[in-house]
């Protein structure tokens, strides 16, 4: 069997993505810089967008779903009075309006776009329609009719109004929420049109801007042709905001062998969680063993690391 090229590195690298490049391109750059065998990302950012893009190396790819399920915070700039086919500044103008809502009118539109909502994704998205990417169809002049999808928006605030044409918002949401669609829908709710001109992701799960590095600032030379693995954070970092249960050595051995543990024996140690289906991080001392779920009176392993 052919050996996979690159080093077998495990861990997370949180980068500050610049505007004008895709998330996939950033994955490729990181793979080359670190000479890594396997790299993936924890949630796509649009080419126009900047901010946090967590990159998973090796075994960290097993924890990507938990990063993508985590809370995300975005800040975006809405340009009012001009709609674009991509719902951002990279698209073509499709409609204009002279209506400029007041701050109060913008704020009044936000409650209807907060909580559990139904959202129509932008046609320039990676969603598949009959096996084709929606953005490919849109570029070919065959923009599909995308049905509304459930989305969860926990916080939606107007934080700045530089001028009548511009409004800046901050959003806290779960996975699968399109900021371009939120910007489009705020404008429509106020009787006008609009699109995003700037978008920045400030948080992804446990990762914040304080954790991010600029990939292009990693210095390489003849003595160090590849980036140091010491720049990577432990695989378990991605699970830091998941409630934990402490296990004994014997319990840990059982769990690692795929055996379920009785919840009765763990009752005094289990975290208080409202959602019975939420994952629980299994710990032995300072070591993360994996993720478990409660089921039929037992704590069952869901993902062992």
**Sign of the four-CA dihedral 242, 243, 248, 250:** negative
64 plus 212 within the same structural domain: yes
Question: Which of left, alpha, beta for 270 (phi over 0: left; psi -120 to 50: alpha)?
Answer: beta
105 plus 59 within the same structural domain: no
**pLDDT tens track for 44-86:** 898 999 999 999 999 899 888 888 888 999 999 999 999 999 9
* Dihedrals phi, psi of 53, to nearest 5 degrees: -130, 95
**pLDDT tens track for 209-228:** 999 999 988 878 777 788 88
pLDDT at position 191, please?
97
pLDDT at position 129, please?
81
pLDDT at position 80, please?
98
271 plus 185 within the same structural domain: no
124 plus 233 within the same structural domain: no
- Average pLDDT of the segment spanning 152-177: 95
pLDDT at position 3, please?
59
- Average pLDDT of the segment spanning 25-37: 94
Which of 147, 181, 204 is the C-terminal boundary of a domain? Answer: 204
178 plus 286 within the same structural domain: no
Which are the contacts of 147, defined by CB distance < 8 A and separation ≥ 6?
120
pLDDT at position 88, please?
93
pLDDT at position 274, please?
72
Q: What is the DSSP letter of 36?
A: B
Which residues constitute the domain of residue 91? 72-204
82 plus 41 within the same structural domain: no
**Within-domain flag for 281:** yes
46 assigned to active site:
yes
pLDDT at position 276, please?
75
The CATH number of whichever domain residue 262 belongs to comes to 2.30.130.10
pTM: 0.86
200 plus 220 within the same structural domain: no
139-168 in b/e form (b: 16+ CB < 10 A) is eeeebeebeeeebbbeebebeeeeeeebbe
- Average pLDDT of the segment spanning 171-199: 95
pLDDT at position 2, please?
57
37 plus 127 within the same structural domain: no
pLDDT at position 62, please?
86
140 plus 213 within the same structural domain: no
More confident residue, 219 or 40: 40
**Within-domain flag for 2:** no
Closest C-alpha to 57, from 234, 222, 302? 234
92 plus 190 within the same structural domain: yes
The CATH number of whichever domain residue 180 belongs to comes to 3.30.2350.10
Q: Per the residue annotation, which of 16, 46, 87, 185 is the catalytic one?
A: 46
The residue assigned the tokens 């107007």 is 158
Position 1 pLDDT exceeds 60: no
**Within-domain flag for 129:** yes
pLDDT at position 177, please?
92
Quote the number of domains for the chain. 3
193 plus 76 within the same structural domain: yes
**Within-domain flag for 154:** yes
**Within-domain flag for 300:** yes
**Within-domain flag for 3:** no
Which of 204, 219, 250 is the C-terminal boundary of a domain? Answer: 204
**Within-domain flag for 5:** no
**Within-domain flag for 217:** yes
26 plus 64 within the same structural domain: yes
Position 137 pLDDT exceeds 70: yes
């Amino acid at each position: 069997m052919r050996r996979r090229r690159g080093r077998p590195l495990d861990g997370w690298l949180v980068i500050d993505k610049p505007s004008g490049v895709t998330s996939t391109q950033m994955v490729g750059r990181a793979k080359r810089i670190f000479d890594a065998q396997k790299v993936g990302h924890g949630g796509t950012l649009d080419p126009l967008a900047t901010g946090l893009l967590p990159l998973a190396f090796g075994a960290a790819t097993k924890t990507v779903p938990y990063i993508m399920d985590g809370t995300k915070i975005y800040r975006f700039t809405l340009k009012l009075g001009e709609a674009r086919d991509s719902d951002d500044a990279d698209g073509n103008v499709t409609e204009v309006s002279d209506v400029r809502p007041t701050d109060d009118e913008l704020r009044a539109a936000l409650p209807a776009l907060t909580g559990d909502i139904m959202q129509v994704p932008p046609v320039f998205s990676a969603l598949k329609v009959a096996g084709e990417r929606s953005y490919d169809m849109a570029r070919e002049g065959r923009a599909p009719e995308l049905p509304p999808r459930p989305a969860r928006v926990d916080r939606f605030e107007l934080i700045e109004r530089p001028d009548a044409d511009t409004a800046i918002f901050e959003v806290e949401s779960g996975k699968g929420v399109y900021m371009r669609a939120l910007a489009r829908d705020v404008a429509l709710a106020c009787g006008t049109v609009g699109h995003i001109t700037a978008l920045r992701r400030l948080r992804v799960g446990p990762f914040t801007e304080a954790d991010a590095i600029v990939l292009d600032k990693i210095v390489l030379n003849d003595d160090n042709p590849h980036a140091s693995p010491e720049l990577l954070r432990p695989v378990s970092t991605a699970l830091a905001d998941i409630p934990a249960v402490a296990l004994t050595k014997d319990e840990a051995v059982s769990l690692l062998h795929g055996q379920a543990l009785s919840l009765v024996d763990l009752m005094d140690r289990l975290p208080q969680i409202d959602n019975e289906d939420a994952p629980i991080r299994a710990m032995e001392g300072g070591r993360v063993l994996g993720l478990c779920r409660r089921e039929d009176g037992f704590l069952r392993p869901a993902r062992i690391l």
